[in-house]
A and B are shown apart, each in its own frame.
Chain A
Amino acid sequence: MLKTFSIGGIHPEENKLSAGNAIKEFHLPEDIKEVKIPVAQHIGAPAQPVVAVGDDVKVGQLLAQAGGFVSANIHSPFSGKVKKIEATTGDDGKPAMMITIAVEGDEWLETIDRSAGIKRDITLSAEEIVKKIGEMGIVGMGGARFPAQVKLAVKPGQAQALIINGVECEPYLTADHRLMLEKSEEILIGVKILMKAIGVSDAYIGIENNKKDAIDLLSKIAASYPGIHVQPLKMKYPQGGEKQLIDACIGRQVASGALPISVGAVVQNVGTAYAVYEAVQKNKPLIERVVCVTGKPLQNPSNFWARIGTPVKALIEAAGGVPEDCEKIIGGGPMMGRAFATIDVPIHKGSSGILLMNKKESKRGEIANCIRCAKCVSVCPMGLEPFLLSKVSAKSLWDMAEENHIADCIECGSCSFTCPSNRPLLDYVRLGKAKVMGIMRARAAAAKAAAEAAKAAEAPKA
């Protein structure tokens, strides 16, 4: 019996169309003269630009510096001249700050090791590794884009296990799968580096058993890497969720509102492990990634090595172009990805996939009455009651939403996927979650201010 997480889950159709296609190097077409690099490519504060308009930049040069504790550096993926630093249209049609670079040649920083060989010896110390990962702007590559160094900054002895996410439970996406097949040894060295950084002797690479080739290959190589265990998992969505993956791999459940480190676990994606290898061993910042361009209407579903900032449109062109019947283009997978309002936007550090859908596949069904079938309750991986949460959110009953733990929702979409009445459950739950989180933060801030005021009032007395 294969392991998996304990509560809920669904089985969406896999549709891994591009699983057999090797990753191809993507070269920017001649006619694209300039690229845009967003300064907010991660969760947290946007990075602060350190270049000025007119500056010459090389590949790998720092463009923008982390703008806070939870933030990440941005490096130039192209060489050329900085043309503009201004807000332009982002993925969702809203303005987003971007640095525009006029591309000229392909000149790299000399500090980056571009040799082909695999470098196995880890020379840096734990602190140096974490610092390096921060400098190189590594973020969670699975899509969540959480700055990697923040998760790795743990107290000695706090972490007991490193968990590597090779699950790729989103239908269609194959970026991590291909990476595991083609860069297996580098990933394992990356895992080793991460283990050293957080001081643990065990790492578990969770892979769903629809990727048997990756499980076999990694298990074979991992035999010479003591402490790294490849953990085959039963297929179930959302196994790639951080809390679900910890539960599946080591059988510990992170409590509501707590972080994975509370059960001694640190989770990173396989893509992140590879980026860490490149950053630490080759001194290469995060400037390119695997992007899976896929979808049923698409002519050639492909996996590309693409530089950050490559226009989404160019990648789709390279995979056969936008077909006539394409209705929706999604950044990420079909369960949690965000639909593009425009494809004249660049890819970012978290762009694991670009998914094209036709009308038949993407159109939502007609909404019927809730029949109280409780299927949303059965599939919710967090053990919540989506039908109730969506109802109270639609009625703006935020107190009730909070009492029913709306803040625990991981927005995986299993409820909306399952609902026989096609009700937009997650749409409302997400809205309610944002409101409740805002209320909770405001309350925490007020409580903190009150406590400080009380302290300040007490101080003169003592």
Chain B
Amino acid sequence: MNTLTVAPSPHVHGDDSVKRNMYGVVIALLPALAASVWFFGLGALSVVLTSIVSCVLIEFLIQKFILKVPTTVTDGSAAVTGLILAFNLPAGLPLWIVVVGALVAIGIGKMTFGGLGQNIANPAILGRVFLLVSFPAQMTSWPVPSSEVDGATGATPLGLLKESVKSGTPISEIAGLPSTQDLLLGSIGGSLGEISAICLIIGGIFLLCTKVITWHIPVSILATVAVFGGLLYGVDPETYASPLFHILSGGMLLGAFFMATDYVTSPMSHSGMIVYGVGIGLITMLIRTFGAYPEGMSFAILIMNIVTPLINTYCKPKRFGEVVKK
């Protein structure tokens, strides 16, 4: 007999691990990545690989040489950050800008706060927003999907919408606005990973089924967008796009399933998650319909990330026996 081991209970552990959750997200994003490579070609793949490799490498170097702590890059969180950052960039972005984004995401967004689990805002979104305000031209030159002309760029569906509404064109007369089918499949302009709604929905369902995420955040975001968009659409369908268009276009699905659900920066209780989701939905719709930017998902998530500690303070889980059932 070996020397006995003594430990406090419980003596067994479920099979859940940080790795399982992180690589679960990576797997869930693979269909969308495939769609992206299909429509944008290998340029998309090089952006994705550059982003992942630089995120992982930056985290490794910071942990090894600056913080001098055991490295944890194998847990997959840096890879997820890299992948999501890449999904938020245009496919043809110069690779050095991708590296700058990774540096901001991991270096400033994550490691300065103390690494995994300590950051206030979603590092990938922080990196993306930093690039958007620093390199506005490069960050908004969207390659045309499956284009035969190399380097041709076009507008995103939301960009088209914004421009036309500003100039007073009724929605039904906007030229080049993609059909619902295009939105679902992904033959539209936009960030590398956000184009194919159907692939993102498959990934989201995978995450829900494997219990990596719960339904609270994505459902509350999408429901808020549907209700808010539906109301506006009901008022004037020629000025405001349909709720379905809002849900399927831009970063809505990518954000709702993969970015807003980031563990570290989202609330801890189910009620808090719903408040957070409703907040993201509202802010996104306000920016999209009344703001200067065509898309507001990143800003909305970033704002709600910052509100999360406050939500955690006020939205406590329902305790057992708190409301006595009759």
Query: What residues on B are CB-neighbors of A323 within 8 Å?
Result: 1
A371 touches B321 (CB 8 A): no
Set B10, B75, B264, B266: member contacting A334, Cβ < 8 A: B10
Find A171's partner among B12, B16, B265, B319 (CB 8 Å cutoff). Answer: B12
Please give, as numbers and ranges, the residues of chain B lying within 8 Å of A370 by CB-CB distance: 117
Q: Are B4 and A339 in contact (CB under 8 A)?
A: yes
Give the shortest distance, in Å, between A341 (CB) and chain B (any CB). Answer: 5
**Interface residue? B118 (CB, 8 A):** yes
Binds B, one of A59-67, A80-88, A376-384: A376-384
**Which residues of chain B come closer than 8 Å to A380, judged between CB atoms?**
317
Q: Are A371 and B268 in contact (CB under 8 A)?
A: no
> How many whole Å from A96's CB to the nearest CB in chain B?
16
Contacts A420-B17, A422-B13; is A322 near B115 (CB within 8 Å)?
no
CA distance A427 to B116 in the complex (A): 22
Contact A253 B321 (CB under 8 A): yes
Docked pose: A388 CA to B319 CA in angstroms = 14
A451 an interface residue at 8 Å Cβ cutoff?
A: no
What are the residues of chain B within 8 A of A420 when measuring CB–CB?
16-18, 20-21
Q: Categorize the interface residue count of chain B.
A: 35 or more
Whether A328 pairs with B325 at a CB distance below 8 angstroms is no
Closest 5 A-B residue pairs measured CB to CB? Answer: A413-B10, A383-B319, A369-B117, A373-B263, A255-B321
Return 9 A-B CB contacts under 8 Å, by A number.
Answer: A325-B2, A335-B11, A338-B9, A371-B77, A373-B263, A374-B269, A377-B269, A382-B320, A388-B268
Q: In the complex, what distance in Å separates the CA atom of A378 from the CA atom of B213?
A: 11
Return A433 CB to nearest CB of chain B, in Å.
Answer: 12
- The number of chain A residues touching the other chain, given as a range, is 35 or more
B268 touches A365 (CB 8 A): no
With both chains docked as a complex, state the minimum distance between the C-beta of B263 and any C-beta of chain A, in angstroms.
4
In Å, the complex CA distance between A427 and B323 comes to: 29
Q: Known interface pairs A251-B325, A426-B9. Does A326 touch B115 (Cβ–Cβ under 8 Å)?
A: no
Report Cα–Cα, A398/B58, bound state, in Å. 39
Tell me the chain A residues, 386-425 only, with Cβ under 8 Å from chain B.
387-388, 405, 408, 411, 413, 416-422, 424
Q: Which residues of B contact A13 (CB under 8 A)?
A: 12
CA distance A4 to B17 in the complex (A): 27
Tell whether, in the assembled complex, residue A374 and residue B9 are in contact, meaning their CB atoms are under 8 Å apart: no
In the assembled complex, the Cα of A248 lies from the Cα of B198 at a distance in Å of 40
| 14 additional contacts (CB under 8 A) given A253-B322, A253-B323, A371-B77 | A12-B12, A13-B12, A329-B4, A334-B12, A337-B11, A339-B4, A369-B115, A377-B317, A383-B317, A383-B322, A387-B268, A413-B10, A418-B16, A420-B16
A252, A337, A361, A369: which contacts B324 (Cβ < 8 A)? A252
Q: Which residues of A contact B18 (CB under 8 A)?
A: 368, 371, 420-421
Q: Is the CB of A417 within 8 A of B10?
A: yes
Q: Which chain A residue lies CB-closest to B7?
A: A339
Within 8 A of B (CB), among A314-329: 322-329
Cβ–Cβ < 8 Å partners of B1 in chain A: 322-324, 326
In the complex, what's the smallest C-beta–C-beta distance from A230 to chain B, in angstroms? 22
How many angstroms from the CA of A252 to the CA of B321 in the assembled complex?
8
**B4's contact among A253, A336, A341, A405, by CB below 8 Å, is which?**
A341
Distance A356 CA – B109 CA, assembled complex (angstroms): 46
Q: Which A residues touch B72, using CB under 8 A?
A: 368-369
Q: Closest CB-CB distance, A313 to chain B, in whole Å?
A: 10
Residues of B within 8 A of A (CB): 1-2, 4-14, 16-18, 20-21, 72, 75, 77, 115-118, 214, 263-270, 273, 316-325
**B268 to A384, Cβ gap below 8 A?**
no
Q: Is the CB of B17 within 8 A of A339?
A: no
- Give the nearest-CB partner of A237 in chain B: B10
Residues of A within 8 A of B316 (CB): 385
- A 331-349 contacts with B by CB, 8 A: 332, 334-343
A125 at the interface (CB under 8 A from B): no
User: Out of A256, A341, A369, which one reaches B118, CB within 8 Å?
Assistant: A369
Bound-complex Cα distance A7 to B321 (A)? 10
Does A417 contact B117, Cβ atoms closer than 8 Å? no
B266 → A minimal CB distance (Å):
8
The reply to whether A378 and B10 contact each other, CB–CB distance below 8 Å, is: no
Complex Cα spacing A321 to B16, Å? 32
* CB <8 Å contact, A417 and B6: no
Q: Which residues of B contact A421 (CB under 8 A)?
A: 17-18, 117
> In the docked arrangement, what's the CA distance between A413 and B11, Å?
9
Cβ of B301 to closest chain A Cβ, rounded Å: 15
A51: Cβ under 8 A from any B Cβ: no
Q: Across the interface, do A369 and B320 meet the contact criterion of CB distance under 8 Å?
A: no
Give CA–CA (A336, B322) in the complex, Å. 25
Chain B residue contacts of A455, Cβ below 8 A? none
Q: Is A354 an interface residue (CB 8 A)?
A: no
| Contact, CB under 8 Å: B263 / A372 | yes
Chain A residue numbers with a CB within 8 Å of B265 are: 372
Chain A's closest residue to B213 (CB) is: A373
> Is there an interface contact between A255 and B324, defined as CB atoms closer than 8 Å?
yes
Q: Which residues of A contact B269 (CB under 8 A)?
A: 374, 377, 385
**One of B2, B214, B318, B321 near A254 (C-beta < 8 A):** B321
A256, B321: Cβ atoms under 8 Å?
yes
CA distance A329 to B254 in the complex (A): 48
Bound: A385/B267 CA distance, A: 12
Residues of B within 8 A of A7 (CB): 318, 320
Interfacial chain A residues near B4, Cβ < 8 Å: 327-329, 339-343
Given A253-B324, A256-B321, A405-B319, check contact A371 B116 (CB 8 Å): yes
